[in-house]
Amino acid sequence: MISVQTILTKYWGYTSFKPMQEAIITSVLNGKDTVSLLPTGGGKSICFQVPALAMDGICIVVSPLVALMSDQVNALKDRGIKALKITGGISFNDLNTLLDNALYGNYKFLYLSPERLQQEIVQNYIRQMNVNLIAVDEAHCISQWGNDFRPAYKNITILRELHPLVPVIALTATATTEVLEDTISELKMELPAVFKDSFVRENLSYQVFKEDDKLYRTEQLLKTNKGSAIVYVRSRKGSIEISNQLNSLGISSTFYHGGVSAKEKAQKLDSWKRGAVSTMVATNAFGMGIDHPNVRFVIHLQIPESVESYFQEAGRAGRDGQFATAVLLFNEYDKIYVKKQFIESLPSTSDLKAIYRTLNNYFQIPYGEGEFTKHNFGFSDFCKIYSLNSMLAYNALNSLDRLGIIQLSQEFGRKSILQFLISSQKVLTYFGKDAATSVIGKTILRIYGGIFEMSTAVNLDLIATKTGQSIETIIGILRKMERDQVIEMKLQITDATLTFLVPREDDKTINVISREVEALNQKKKAQVNAVLRYLENTETCRSAQLVSYFGETTASACGVCSVCNSQHPSSSKKELQEIAKNILILLEADDLTSREISEKLTFAETNILKVLRLLMDAEKIKVNLKNQYYLY
């Protein structure tokens, strides 16, 4: 067996492990079921990749997101390690080829989504493989109390049945004590070794501000940012609008949300990672698997739905160990809205019965039938036909999905993609040949600026409302325009795909899960209330508040968060050192006045002035006749 240190140096170029990594790896190599609970940026992937390379055979990695799988597989390939992934949307022949390669091609890693484990062909191939380790990434997804619970994660126990003697390693960055215990139980782990590192991030300053003009505060934070930044927003529309506003302010930005095509997502992510754009404005679709070390700011413009999601998203800042800032901006309306969205709109058992019954009627499912039938699903059309409260219906469908009654693809609001291929003058000439085409085409041009320059997401329902034409008529005209090579388009008629997982039994179906419904609702209320307490607690260190939520109650004050700075504005040694470092970097490039330095930095002006005096006293800087500071 090659030593783990040799593997680490050969493939990763590191001379030593991060805290706890070596102990976790040793546990795995000793054949023990192992739980790795490390904070974001703690190096979880090395904990299963290194021991898998040290042993004969292949490691099966169960991962929840395609982006997460793609990033890790590409990173392994770049290091000369044979790895492959099996995701959705591939043909049976391609699936068969990939599984053949995994079985006979001397691969070290096979990444799978949990849904793939339901397929008999996948199970049969894995049964024949020389599996050395089963790694469950984002393992909290298996717990019904976890923030990202996925019913398909229950399928992971199939791997235990296929290879009962192979150790399992469960990895996560966000798990409360309750979630951790449930995860161990659900994975059927036998006396696992649990490694739990401190969740404290000493290089990360958590800032919370009540702010009416959030865009101005964001501009002030980002205008001198030398690294990358993430700005989280609630909606897809908001991600586009904020990105455009930041670009107009001179802050290079792009947007990312669940409706963006896979190709565009890859392009946007690449341009952000390369530094071609500094700021990514995103919904929480920009989530797990986003591994970029040079993020200096993570800014939330709305209140997140849980401490778990906030901690994970904020934790994407400063993964390189350098000083970084996580900022949460809120106002009084945000507090009202988060309660309305996540508490007041929680579906009761009777709400679920009504929605479930309506859903079956919508698809004309006979009583006792419908199991595993798949349907295209237009969410907005569904709500409109039955005059449903969209927020309540959305939460009800998610609950039915979470509790295993239906399976729903998360594509609400996805829009068709459209771009004109000929000049505006030629388009107008083309429209002149047919009145219906002219009405629909000119309406599109009025609503969507820039559609000549780039592929644009268009809402067919909106076009139908504006023109008075049916969706079918609009689609027919668009397809004719595509045949005439006037436009290029990718048509998305439905919002989602819905699969019924159990036969229709109306009230009986929901009665079985009524206790779980109430438990989930109470859990969601507790999560929202925990976030609101975090916002309102201005007495306890922000970092200490966050880590205590995960059971770490002995953390001391960080000294750099907004609470610590307000209580001891002049005594934050860490922040003063960071200010000094930034001032010296600025002065290497140019001589500057104190005002110019303050404008270029995001720290409090009083602290900047204090550091300037300290640097003067230490004879590291001086002042010239123009009142500019320069390096001594």
pLDDT, one tens digit per residue, over 228-248 is 999 999 888 899 999 999 999
- Per-residue burial over 89-118, b if 16 or more Cβ lie within 10 Å, else e, is eeeeeebeebbeebbeeebbbbbbbbbbbe
The predicted structure's pLDDT at residue 88: 63
Same domain? For 429 and 292 the reply is no
Residues in the chain: 632
Domain assignment present for 36: yes
CB of 235 within 8 A of CB of 302? no
* pLDDT, average across residues 69-94: 85
**Shared domain check, 352 and 282:** no
- Residue 246 in domain: yes
447 shares its domain with 429:
yes
As to burial, measured by CB atoms within 10 angstroms (0-12 exposed, 13-18 middle, 19+ buried), residue 615 is: buried
Cα–Cα nearest to 54, from 86, 31, 77 = 31
Task: Give the separation between CA 278 and CA 275, rounded to whole angstroms.
Answer: 6
- Say whether both 73 and 179 belong to one domain: yes
Residue 587 confidence (pLDDT) above 70: yes
Q: pLDDT-derived band of residue 492, with 50, 70 and 90 as boundaries?
A: low
Same structural domain, 145 and 258: no
Region 344-369: mean pLDDT is 94
CA distances from 406 to 371, 501, 505 (A): 9, 5, 13
**Considering the entire predicted model, what is its pTM?**
0.68
- Provide the 3-class DSSP secondary structure of residue 86: strand
* Average confidence (pLDDT) over 281-307: 86
Whose CA is closest to 346, among 310, 402, 394? 394
Across 94-140, the runs of DSSP E, i.e. the strands, are 109-112, 131-136
Q: Is the pLDDT of residue 462 over 90?
A: no
Domain final residue pick, 465, 490, 515: 490
Q: Supply the CATH number for residue 112's domain.
A: 3.40.50.300
pLDDT computed for residue 232 by the predictor: 96
Alpha-carbon separation of residue 348 from 197, 343, 345, 388, 518 (angstroms)? 38, 11, 9, 15, 7
| pLDDT, tens digit, 9 for 90 and up, residues 308-354 | 889 989 999 988 878 899 999 999 899 998 998 888 889 999 999 99
CA atoms within 13 A on the CB side of 193: 17
- In angstroms, the CA 557 to CA 66 distance is 38
In this prediction, residue 412 carries a pLDDT of 45
Query: 261: left (phi > 0), else alpha (psi -120 to 50), else beta?
Result: beta
Q: Do 287 and 350 belong together in one domain?
A: no
Mean pLDDT of 533-550: 94
Is 540 part of any domain?
Answer: no
Which domain does 466 fall in, by range? 416-490
> What's the token pair of residue 494?
């439905």
Residue 562 lies in a domain: no
Residue 243 belongs to some domain of the structure: yes
DSSP 474: H
pLDDT computed for residue 413 by the predictor = 47
- In angstroms, the CA 142 to CA 147 distance is 10
**Beta pairing class for 629-631 and 621-623:** antiparallel
d(CA 219, CA 242): 11
**Sign of the C-alpha dihedral computed for residues 177, 303, 113 and 131 taken in this order:** negative
pLDDT, position 142: 83
Phi, psi at 60, each rounded to 5°: -90, 125
Residue type, 565: N
State pLDDT tens for residues 242-286. 999 999 999 999 999 877 776 788 889 889 999 999 999 999 878
312 plus 371 within the same structural domain: no
Short-list 146, 113, 114, CA closest to 37: 146
Q: Do 126 and 149 reside in the same domain of the chain?
A: yes
Instruction: Point out the least confidently predicted range of 180-189, 371-380, 438-447, 574-583.
Output: 371-380
209 lies in the same domain as 268: yes
- The verdict on residue 321 lying in a domain is yes
Q: Looking at 196, 219, 249, which one is the last position of a domain?
A: 196
Among the listed residues 488, 486, 367, the one whose alpha carbon sits nearest the alpha carbon of residue 431: 486
* Residues 163-208: tens digit of each pLDDT: 999 999 999 887 888 888 989 998 999 899 999 888 888 889 999 9
The 10s digit of each residue's pLDDT in 146-165 is 666 776 788 888 999 999 99
Domain ends where: 173, 196, 219? 196
Let me know if residue 550 belongs to a domain.
Answer: no
Q: Which residue has the higher pLDDT, 49 or 266?
A: 49
Query: What share of the chain has pLDDT > 90, as a percent?
Result: 47
Q: What is the mean pLDDT of residues 206-223?
A: 92
Structure tokens belonging to residue 124 = 């049969």
Query: Any bridge partners for residue 331, and if so which?
Result: none
pLDDT at 9: 93
Check residue 1 and give its pLDDT. Answer: 60
Residue 555 DSSP symbol: P
Do 168 and 224 belong to one domain? no
Pair type for strands 168-172 and 131-136: parallel
Question: Quick one: tokens of 376?
Answer: 């295209």
Average pLDDT, the chain: 87
Identity of the residue numbered 618: A
Question: Regarding predicted confidence, which is higher, 574 or 353?
Answer: 353
- For 205, 249, 296, 399, the CA distances from 597, given in Å and listed in that order, are 21, 20, 18, 51
Please check whether residue 12 lies inside any domain of the structure.
yes
Q: Tell me: the pLDDT tens digits for 97-142?
A: 999 999 999 999 999 988 788 788 999 999 999 999 999 998 888 8
Per-residue pLDDT band at 41 (split at 50, 70, 90): low
Residue 588's CATH number? 1.10.10.10
- What are the pLDDT digits (tens) for 380-405? 889 989 999 988 998 899 889 878 78
User: Are residues 420 and 406 located together in one domain of the fold?
Assistant: no
Both 443 and 374 in one domain: the answer is no
Complete DSSP assignment for 512-541: TTHHHHHHHHHHHHHHHHHHHHHHH--SS-
Q: Per the structure, how many domains does the chain have?
A: 5
Q: Is 456 helix (H, G, I), strand (E, B) or coil?
A: strand
**Tokens linked to 45:** 């992937």
Mean pLDDT across the stretch 53-64? 93
For residue 493, name the pLDDT band (cuts at 50, 70, 90): low
What is the residue whose two structure tokens read 């001032």? 583
